């Protein structure tokens, strides 16, 4: 799984520095004089994650102005699962011992962890075999800039699913950025996508674990799950 670490942040800083100075001499040779373009899958993820969570529409009804609020996301509330139930989570679900929200595909999700635990869970169901990519972002601040979120999956038998692809394209790093403000009022650019992980999944249900390195600093994040075959040619 890819998640931001110091090496990636160092490379990102070099990319930003070279752009600011209008030259590439600070970059490693393999990154010099090269234009980066988001793949169809990554571009779709970035566009989806940039969607405003709420859209306001103003209409006039019988002379009165009415503001309608439309949510552009689906809220997912994660929960804890006892370690004794992880290997048999599917049976525990069927028996009612656990109840978890289901992540939707191709949908902007607002994932909330109200438990304060570093590990919390939800479900995902897929209808056809494909490589599914999980993209995560949040509003980066000086407080949470070093937080990371890891994802892991278990199949219906309780077995861990191996990561299929965790390649973080440099084009995404250079093309999709976010800005946060320091305590002194300065602006800092950072990669927008904080986590990217691909899993080759067969039809069925999966238990999804979110591990937040510092849950006290991050309890909500945005996510989108995309199937590779549907978007790779866009």
* Alpha carbon distance 230, 232 (integer Å): 6
**C-alpha–C-alpha distance, residues 134 and 225, integer Å:** 5
What is the radius of gyration, based on Cα positions, of the chain?
20
Position 61 in a domain: no
Mean pLDDT value across residues 27-35: 48
| 9 inside domain | yes
Buried b (16+ CB within 10 A) or exposed e, 165-181: eeebbbbbbbbbbbebe
Q: Does a structural domain hold residue 24?
A: yes
pLDDT digits 0-9 by tens, 153-198 = 999 999 999 999 766 666 666 778 888 888 788 888 888 999 999 9
Is pLDDT above 60 for 12? Answer: no
Terminal Cα-to-Cα distance of the chain (whole angstroms): 24
pLDDT at residue 16 is higher than 50: no
Nearest to 134 by CA among 212, 228, 230, 234: 228
Q: Is 56 among the domain residues?
A: no
Q: What is the pLDDT of residue 171?
A: 66
* Residues spanned by the domain of 223: 2-51+67-231
Report the range of poorest mean pLDDT among 23-37, 85-99, 130-144, 167-181.
23-37
Question: Residue 223 — very low, low, confident or very high, per pLDDT cuts 50/70/90?
Answer: very high
Domain contains 171: yes
Query: How would residue 20 be classed by pLDDT, with cut points 50, 70 and 90?
Result: very low
| Three-class SS state of 30 | helix
d(CA 119, CA 182): 29
Residue 152 located in a structural domain = yes
Which ranges in 40-80 belong to alpha helices (H)?
A: 40-49
Query: What pLDDT, on the 0 to 100 scale, is given for residue 1?
Result: 61
pLDDT interval class at 34 (50, 70, 90): low
Residue 191 lies in a domain: yes
What ranges in 115-219 are assigned the alpha helix state H? 170-175
Reported residue count of the chain is 234
Domain membership flag for residue 62: no
Domain count, the chain: 1
Query: What's the pLDDT band for 39 if we cut at 50, 70, 90?
Result: confident
Distant-in-sequence, close-in-space partners of 20: CB < 8 Å, separation ≥ 6: none
Digit-coded pLDDT (tens) for 64-118: 777 777 788 999 999 999 999 999 999 999 999 999 999 999 999 999 999 999 9
3-state class percentages of the chain: helix first, strand second, coil last, to nearest 5: 20, 35, 40
- pLDDT given for residue 234 in this prediction: 52
Q: Residue 194: which CATH number?
A: 2.60.120.380
Q: Given the structure tokens 């309890």, which residue do they identify?
A: 219
pLDDT at 146 over 60: yes
């Amino acid at each position: 799984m890819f998640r931001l670490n110091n090496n990636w942040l160092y490379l990102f800083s070099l990319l930003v520095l070279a752009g600011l100075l209008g030259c590439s001499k600070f970059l490693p040779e393999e990154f010099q004089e090269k234009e980066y373009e988001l793949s169809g899958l990554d571009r779709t993820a970035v566009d989806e994650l940039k969607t405003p969570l709420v859209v306001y529409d103003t209409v006039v009804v019988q002379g009165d102005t009415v503001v309608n609020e439309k949510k552009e996301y689906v809220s997912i509330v994660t929960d804890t699962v006892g370690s004794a139930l992880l290997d048999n989570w599917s049976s525990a679900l069927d028996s009612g011992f656990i109840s978890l929200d289901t992540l939707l595909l191709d949908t902007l999700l607002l994932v909330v962890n109200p438990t304060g635990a570093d590990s919390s869970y939800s479900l995902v169901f897929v209808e056809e075999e494909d490589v599914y990519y999980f993209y995560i972002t949040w509003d980066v601040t000086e407080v949470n800039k070093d937080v990371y979120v890891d994802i892991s999956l278990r199949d219906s038998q309780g077995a861990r699913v191996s990561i299929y692809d965790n390649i973080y394209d440099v084009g995404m790093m250079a093309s999709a950025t976010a800005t946060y403000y320091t305590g002194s009022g300065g602006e800092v650019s950072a990669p927008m996508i904080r986590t990217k992980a691909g899993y080759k999944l067969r039809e069925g249900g999966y238990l999804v674990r979110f591990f937040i390195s510092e849950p006290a600093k991050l309890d909500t994040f945005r996510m989108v799950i995309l199937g590779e075959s549907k978007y790779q040619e866009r």
